[in-house]
Amino acid sequence: MRYSQCRVRRFEGNFYFNPQPYSYEGPDTLGIRLNRKVSDFTSEYHSFILAYMKWRVKAWQAEHPEAPPPKQVILVERFFAIRSPQESRGWEGPYVVPVSRWIPELDAQKGAPTLESFDFNEQRFTR
């Protein structure tokens, strides 16, 4: 199964972006940059993200047939911050950063799947 796991990681690698702040960024400028990055990312990769989320839900439901379907599916970015050479060895984290959310119930109501992007300044998902 290593081959298939490798393929999954390669597919997941398409979703990576660096959410770490630059040394000159304050919280507001970081929020603005990340909002733009996540919005562009969600727009550009909408079909890939949605296909990935649907695949993960299907796999989860196969493993948990007795559980009700999820009300929401959230794509997150998980990362570790590696310390600089001047600091003690190691890393910090993992940090989990929300990126996009899909609400399957809305698909049935609207007839088309919709992804919401996370707004870092408001700390909530938006369309």
Q: What is the pLDDT of residue 122?
A: 92
Amino acid at 99: V
Cα 32 to Cα 119: distance, rounded to the nearest angstrom: 9
Q: What is the pLDDT of residue 11?
A: 65
**For the stretch 73-107, what's the b/e string if a residue is b when 16 or more beta carbons lie within 10 angstroms of its beta carbon?**
bbbebebeeeeeeeeeeeeeeeeebbbbbbbeeee
Give the pLDDT means over successive 10-residue stretches in the chain (127 positions). Answer: 51 73 86 91 89 91 94 90 86 89 82 84 90
56 Cβ contact partners less than 8 Å away, ≥ 6 residues apart: 73
Sketch the domain layout of the chain as residue ranges: 2-126
SS3 at position 88: coil
3-state helix, strand, coil in the chain (%, to 5): 45, 25, 35
Q: What is the pLDDT of residue 74?
A: 95
Q: What is the pLDDT of residue 8?
A: 56
The answer to whether the pTM exceeds 0.75 is yes
Token pair, residue 13, equals 């690698």
Cα 48 to Cα 55: distance, rounded to the nearest angstrom: 10
Cα 106 to Cα 49: distance, rounded to the nearest angstrom: 16
